[in-house]
Amino acid sequence: MEEFFEWIERLDALDKPSDERLPPAISVRYQRVAAPTPLDFENSVVRVLGTERQVDLFGDLPGYLSVLCWADTSPSGSSDMLRDQQIATGLGGLFTLALDRRVRVASTEVTVGMESSDIKHFLPSQVNDRELTGPLPDEPKAQIERLLARVMGLPEDDRKTLGAAIELHYAAALLHDVELNAAYALVVAALETLSRRYGQVAADWTHWEHADRFDGVFDDLALTADQSERLRAELLHDKHLRLRQGFAAYICASLPKEFWNGEMVDYLPTMELDNGGEGGFKALEPSGSIPIRQIVPEDLDTLRRRLLAAYDARSLYVHAGGKTLDTMSGLKAMIPMPVDRKEPLSFAGMRRILVAMIHREIELRTTPREIPPLRLFHQKSSL
């Protein structure tokens, strides 16, 4: 919430004029809000305009739609998508904590409108994995039944592990456009669930990124070969290190070669507005395909290093609330450009690894069963 607290400091500075600086330009940002009952207030540092409209929320009672308005006082005066998202997320957290109610602020939306109109429209701004919201593939029934038959044929011992991985993937897919780092942690957790069950726990000293540094220390201390080997064994005995190394080793050893032949299709939402600014969302349009090898390196040494960075990013978020990924992480992964070998893989890359690994483990362990003969049909209405 660094940007959120910087925004608070800038607001506070408005009340402390200085002869040495000009007052900052103020512009207004808008975010949609869903609350359990109508939320509407003004005459404050932020205002919330209630619309009295109900919105349907899956798995919950209908919420009430409002529009949050807050003043941006950044020195540049220009909009910054990442900064705006962090401030909106901070406000959502503040509202929820203050009211002890779930107040959903749509932080990953951008406001669209015409200069000649006061009408505002909202489009999602996340680029983490837009294929998740793309059109459904052909013959969805056949694909669902094929996977169901294989899941039904899993042995009892594998159902728990693979079922947990499937549910963690589902939660990440639901959450990725709300809180990217939480969704990322769920994907890493799902892969770790698989690696603990199906991978090798033992760590290889030569694959540890700090191995050379420690070998240098052993040499500086003039340790004997036996003493050095004993210390290596003790270091590798650390549970966290073994799990971390086993996580990366499992994926590198198990990803099918054909995985890198795939592509990710990106989609862009389009709008259609008339001269008065009326209209709205039109359709999702494909904007090109991105080779999987562009977002997941095919070189196994590079892949292993970036998987270790992904594991560390999860640990940082879970244990210290540190956020390593943002919208730019997903955007950079879609552009063919050099990436640091120590940079975590993008959410899109990690999710596709997880999907590939779940399918792989299911195929290795299942004896597909026949779908039960029960058949449900749409009820035909009578005229």
Q: Where are the domains of the chain?
A: 2-107, 130-365
Strand partners for 220: none
- How many residues comprise the chain? 383
CA angle 347, 353, 259 (to 5 degrees): 130
> Residue with structure tokens 């049909």?
377
Spatial strand order in the sheet of 27-35: 46-55, 63-72, 27-35, 104-105
Cα–Cα distance for residue pair 297/303, rounded to 1 Å = 6
Whole-model pTM? 0.79
Whether the Cβ atoms of residue 130 and residue 268 lie closer than 8 Å to each other: yes
Instruction: At 267, give phi and psi (nearest 5°).
Output: -125, 145
Beta strands in the chain (DSSP E): 27-35, 46-55, 63-72, 104-105, 109-112, 121-124, 263-273, 279-291
Nearest Cα residue to 119 out of 282, 281, 273: 273
Per-residue pLDDT of the chain (383 residues; tens, 9 = 90+): 778 888 888 887 776 655 445 455 678 888 999 999 999 999 998 999 999 899 887 777 889 999 999 988 776 656 677 888 889 999 999 999 999 999 999 887 777 766 656 666 776 666 778 888 888 888 999 999 999 999 999 999 999 999 999 999 999 998 988 889 999 999 999 999 999 999 875 556 665 556 666 677 767 777 777 777 767 666 655 555 678 888 999 999 999 999 999 999 988 777 777 776 677 677 778 888 899 999 999 999 999 999 999 999 999 999 888 988 887 777 777 777 777 778 999 999 999 999 999 999 999 999 999 998 988 888 765 54
β-pairing, 109-112 with 263-273? unpaired
Nearest Cα residue to 327 out of 122, 76, 121, 108: 108
Written as six digits, the tokens of 307 are 């998987």
